[in-house]
Structure 1
């Protein structure tokens, strides 16, 4: 039976102590763990009120998959599960969910909303986070609509970012398909914008973390990557996938290591040369469409199912 704290102050004290303990165990800083917890509780509201209506994508999906190992993301990415849902309706549903009271002393007060020029995105909704009467943080929800997925959504129980005996009402959440997540990150590496080449250093680190953790069907991942690239091109985005992994820009040698350092669960791959070697092994067969079999994370190799 979970413990209910008598007051918001008592709960905040317990949360802070739990975050400090988790910080010592994982290396994540206390403020990041507290923010992830607030993200978790907002997600709990969304999936308690509408269990089948959303998918968690982006960095928060990796935090759900790899607790204590993935990097902190600055926002929550939510993908509407209903095809054709209007951005205005998607936003209304997020606001309704955020207002749902779970009796956990937390309140998410809506702030500014910014629309996106991308028709697949509903926009960004900001919230002020209150624990009892005290403002403790701010969070942003990026809302996506009208996205075509290659893979099937995955379900997993949502687990608190810190070890607390309460709240205990963690729902099952739906995650953006892993192969679509890989496709998003690969394409982000090779998008070209007026300001220059990609600066998505963290996406390479995330891809390598995934490669160290997951068995991946090669044919499905390959299809997802090339389908995503074509979808972006049709939307007017300049993206050209190379036939083999290429470092996206000249500044990556200096800037990649700091991004990789934020991915606490990443084994090796902390310098760009290490990362390039691992990325070539993982991504080259996907980029040139020669992939066969499944990715074996233990062996860091593509293997036929009978080998």
Structure 2
């Protein structure tokens, strides 16, 4: 690293982040979270290569940067089992104590708790991670860890834009859940039905429209991932694209305005995702019928 002390690095980094925030309009808090994300991922990958995979909203931020929906948490897939919260905490403490870039960040792991289980009895675990630089707090992040191997078969690799390149630190490469898998999980989250309440995941509709407007949704590629996601959950794919909750329009349109989506209205968004759904399944059904003739 080019800076002689963590104090010097903090001063230089703080000025750069402030300038970038003023230039781009991206909040300083969001930029600091990206720095922390980079430092966490760099250390996890250095300690355990091939074990950790970025998922969820942060995967969208990696792909789309400032145009992605704001996310405050980090979702990670883990190619290993977790038996107890203490085991995961010890694993994180050991991995995050390694500083391959000599960046001077101190990363501490707080409480780790068990969350919900999926249909196969695999739990998600939530950990809190806090950072210090030059003896002062730099921020914190909630990290959700999902040790589900079957979710991690389809992945992509991307080199991150690097907030510490000015300090001579190399940009980290991250492994992300593939865009097709991500699209499939968004469809499932958006369409999932609950026996006792309304589905509230309007953000999945927003993310699908966003991915589509960036040319990242390929129905012919995504369809097999969609089938896999439903099969993993022992659920049956709907025969037709279902109606979305009646409470979503106002919430969708507020989020669409923030992201400047072309599909600004709820009805436009529904038309987009219904067209994608029909392109995935109608086309394959027609092809299957033609092949059998």
Taking structure 2 as the reference length, what is the TM-score of the superposition? 0.83
Change (3 A) 1:225 1:150: farther
Deviation string, structure 1 residues 185-206 (Cα, Å, up to 9, x no partner)? 1111122335522211221111
The answer to whether the 8 Å contact 1:151/1:180 transfers is: no
Distance 1:150 1:49 in 2: 19
Distance 2:23 2:204 in 1: 25
1:137 and 2:133 aligned: no
Bigger share in helix:
2
After TM superposition, the structure 1 = structure 2 runs for residues 133-282 of structure 1, keeping only pairs within 5 Å, are 133-149=135-151, 152-160=154-162, 162=163, 164-166=165-167, 168-193=169-194, 196-233=197-234, 241=238, 243-244=240-241, 246-247=243-244, 249-262=245-258, 264=259, 267-282=261-276
Distance 1:148 1:14 in 2: 42
Larger radius of gyration: 2
Provide the residue aligned with 1:126 in structure 2: 128
The answer to whether the 8 Å contact 1:60/1:73 transfers is: yes
Distance 2:97 2:152 in 1: 32
Which ranges in structure 1 are unaligned for 5 or more consecutive residues?
293-307
Provide the residue aligned with 1:110 in structure 2: 109
Taking structure 1 as the reference length, what is the TM-score of the superposition? 0.80
Distance 2:240 2:91 in 1: 41
Distance 1:8 1:271 in 2: 48
Which ranges in structure 2 are unaligned for 5 or more consecutive residues?
285-293
The answer to whether the 8 Å contact 2:188/2:229 transfers is: yes
Structure 1 vs Structure 2 CA RMSD = 2.6
**Comparing 249-258 with 209-218, which one deviates more in the overlay?**
209-218
Instruction: Give the aligned length.
Output: 278
Distance 1:291 1:241 in 2: 16
